């Protein structure tokens, strides 16, 4: 089982480097991470974007472009489609977001012709390493599905369970988050949580033990769960937190980074190939971790 990002980096370095197509690569922080990941043997890269801007940006931050393929496409949205097409066409194994907003990249990923649709729901998963916490914790979905339905939540869990398996966590313990740990008909998140737990009991969600509703404290802290008298195989031990909507996931994830000094790797799951989604605010290290996780998942 991979319990830390050091474990993830060690695991990926022993594998053949994956080919990552970067959409709109003309970003200084992205280029620095690309160089770092290439030098560490984590991945090889095809940079899609405005060649002149890529070269000028690289020069500005003293990043060598040696050994990196550049495909010129001046328009950012077109660059996203070209990068996606490289992945769907088999010339790259993993897609990575560059200097383009997430929604525009995702629209290219969802494109019916060149996209990476599989017929499944695509979802964002953020894996966190938090100082003082004994394992990697995945939060989903704080980046793609805005207000998922019950059926979409089941698919989002299934996607994250696939990621957990790659991390060596099986069966994954999934807590479906709500504000309370009892079903309250006035709180729709608690109704979905109870249904999802039952769906897992009946084999409609596989490879996971799912329980909910659970409040955040009962989900991740055994003492808090005991204090509330909750008997559950998941309470206090969750590997995955399913959040009710994008705002909760996004705010919870960012609070781990900014309040708790956590480190995050972010991916879109459920597509034909992994998609690395880093944000402008990610550190160099955070971007390398996202690339490493994408490369690990792209080995399948």
Q: Which of residues 192-221 bind ligand BCO (CB under 6 A)?
A: none
Q: Which of residues 59-118 bind ligand BCO (CB under 6 A)?
A: 102-103, 106-107, 110
Could you say whether residue 253 binds ligand BCO (CB under 6 A)?
yes
Least distance CB 141 / ligand BCO (angstroms): 8
3-state secondary structure the chain: CCCCHHHHHHHHHCCCCEEEEEECCCCHHHHHHHHHHHHCCCEEEEEEECHHHHHHHHHHCCCCCCCCEEEECCCHHHHHHHHHHHHHCCCCCEEEECCCCHHHHHHHHCCCCCCCCCCCCCEEEEEEECCCCCCCEEEECCCCCCCCCHHHHHHHHHHHHHHHHHCCCCCEEEEEECCCCCCCCCCHHHHHHHHHHHHHHCCCCCCEEEEEEECHHHHHCHHHHHHCCCCCCCCCCCCEEECCCHHHHHHHHHHHHHCCCCEEEEEEECCCCCEECCCCCCCHHHHHHHHHHHHHHCCC
Could you say whether residue 241 binds ligand BCO (CB under 6 A)?
no
Query: Would you say 236 or 253 has its CB closer to ligand BCO?
Result: 253
Query: Would you say 63 or 137 has its CB closer to ligand BCO?
Result: 137
Number of residues that bind ligand BCO (CB under 6 A): 19
Least distance CB 122 / ligand BCO (angstroms): 4
Cis before residue 171, ω within 30 degrees of 0? Answer: yes
Could you say whether residue 146 binds ligand BCO (CB under 6 A)?
yes
Q: For residues 92 and 273, what is the distance between their CA atoms, to the nearest angstrom?
A: 9
Least distance CB 260 / ligand BCO (angstroms): 15
Could you say whether residue 142 binds ligand BCO (CB under 6 A)?
yes
Could you say whether residue 177 binds ligand BCO (CB under 6 A)?
no
Could you say whether residue 266 binds ligand BCO (CB under 6 A)?
yes
Query: Would you say 145 or 158 has its CB closer to ligand BCO?
Result: 145
Could you say whether residue 274 binds ligand BCO (CB under 6 A)?
no
Query: Would you say 147 or 186 has its CB closer to ligand BCO?
Result: 147
Closest residue (Cβ) to ligand BCO?
143
Could you say whether residue 122 binds ligand BCO (CB under 6 A)?
yes
Query: Would you say 202 or 280 has its CB closer to ligand BCO?
Result: 280
Which member of 48, 58, 87, 121 binds ligand BCO (CB under 6 A)? Answer: 121
Strand partners, 242: 140, 176
Q: Give the residues lining the site for ligand BCO (CB under 6 A).
A: 102-103, 106-107, 110, 121-122, 124, 126, 142-146, 250, 253, 266, 277, 279
């Amino acid at each position: 089982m991979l319990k830390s990002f050091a474990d993830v980096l060690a695991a990926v370095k022993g594998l053949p480097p994956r080919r990552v197509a970067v959409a709109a690569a003309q970003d200084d922080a992205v280029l620095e991470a690309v160089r770092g990941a290439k030098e560490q043997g984590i991945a090889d890269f095809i940079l899609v974007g405005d060649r002149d801007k890529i070269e000028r940006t690289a020069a500005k931050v003293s990043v060598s472009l040696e050994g990196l393929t550049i495909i010129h496409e001046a328009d950012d949205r077109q660059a996203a489609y070209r990068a996606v097409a490289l992945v769907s066409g088999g010339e790259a194994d993993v897609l990575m977001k560059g200097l383009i907003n997430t929604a525009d990249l995702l629209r290219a990923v969802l494109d019916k012709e060149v996209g990476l649709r599989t017929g499944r729901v695509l979802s964002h998963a953020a894996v966190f390493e938090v100082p003082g916490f004994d394992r990697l914790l995945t939060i989903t979905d704080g980046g793609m599905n805005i207000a998922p339905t019950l059926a979409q939540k089941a698919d989002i869990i299934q996607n994250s369970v696939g990621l957990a398996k790659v991390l060596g966590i099986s069966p994954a313990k999934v807590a479906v988050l709500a504000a309370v740990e009892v079903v309250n008909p006035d709180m729709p998140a608690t109704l979905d949580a109870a249904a999802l737990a039952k769906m897992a009991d009946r084999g409609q969600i596989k490879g996971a033990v799912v329980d909910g509703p659970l409040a955040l404290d009962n989900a991740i802290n055994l003492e808090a769960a005991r204090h509330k008298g909750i008997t559950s195989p998941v309470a206090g031990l969750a590997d995955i937190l399913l959040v009710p909507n994008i705002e909760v996931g996004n705010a919870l994830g960012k609070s781990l980074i900014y309040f708790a000094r956590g480190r995050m790797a972010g991916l879109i799951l459920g597509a034909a190939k992994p998609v690395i989604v880093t944000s402008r605010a990610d550190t160099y290290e955070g971007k390398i971790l996202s690339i490493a996780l994408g490369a690990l998942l792209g080995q399948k």
